[in-house]
Copies of this chain bind each other. A is one copy, B any other.
Amino acid sequence: MAERFEIRLAGSGGQGLVLGGLIMSEAAAIFDGIYATQTQSYGPESRGGASKSEVVLSKEEVDYPKATNPDVVLLFTEAAAEKYLPMCKEDAIVIADADLVKTEIPDKYKKKVIVPLTKIAKEGVGREFVANIIAIGLIRELTGIVTEASLEKALMERVPKGTEEMNRKALALGKEAAHTYGKHVLDMKGK
């Protein structure tokens, strides 16, 4: 891992981005021994339902917990794409929901991953609201930033009883999606 690794999850309230970020941080810190912070920032725009969750992972204590130059950016709504795409660095992994984001992600983003997260959730598990879990499974597979076992453990500690199987399946669908929609990123890994 680099000294500092930043993830930004941007979308709307109800998409479970806070929970997604929380689970990633807990996987890193509690099970992988990495320092982690997870931050939500709310401004007047929150009234319109915008939601942003940021995760910073580091080998050392995280001094500044906001993402300043994210390595991974999830764009989960069109509004999120319009706001956050312009500030993405070119070598970031830019993940966009294929159905919810209309903005075209330019080809200069060589690690863009356009993936129908919400559709996969609906068709694969029958519940749109697990799209956030599919997203973190996808991010994990693309980055290797936390281990698969840690992410599953952290997930199991946060989800309501009775939903474990559904959530485990969502994680697996995210992993699968990384190979289907993000093979070019996996091929570039480490280069």
Interface residues of A (CB under 8 A from B): 18, 22, 25-26, 28-30, 33, 35-44, 46-47, 61-62, 64-66, 160
Contacts and interface: CB of A to CB of B under 8 A. Distances in A.
24 contacts: A18-B22, A25-B42, A26-B42, A26-B46, A28-B42, A29-B42, A29-B43, A29-B44, A30-B42, A30-B46, A30-B47, A33-B44, A33-B47, A35-B41, A35-B44, A36-B41, A36-B42, A37-B39, A37-B42, A38-B39, A39-B65, A43-B61, A64-B66, A65-B65
A127 to B, nearest CB: 15
Contacts of A64: 64, 66
Contacts of A65: 39, 41, 65-66
B47 A42 contact: no
A40 B22 contact: yes
A41 B43 CA distance: 21
A61 B38 CA distance: 18
Given A28-B42, A29-B46, A30-B47, 15 more contacts: A26-B42, A26-B46, A29-B43, A33-B44, A35-B42, A35-B44, A36-B41, A37-B41, A38-B39, A38-B42, A39-B39, A39-B40, A43-B61, A64-B66, A65-B66
A22 B19 CA distance: 11
A46 B29 CA distance: 7
A65 B64 CA distance: 8
A66 B37 CA distance: 10
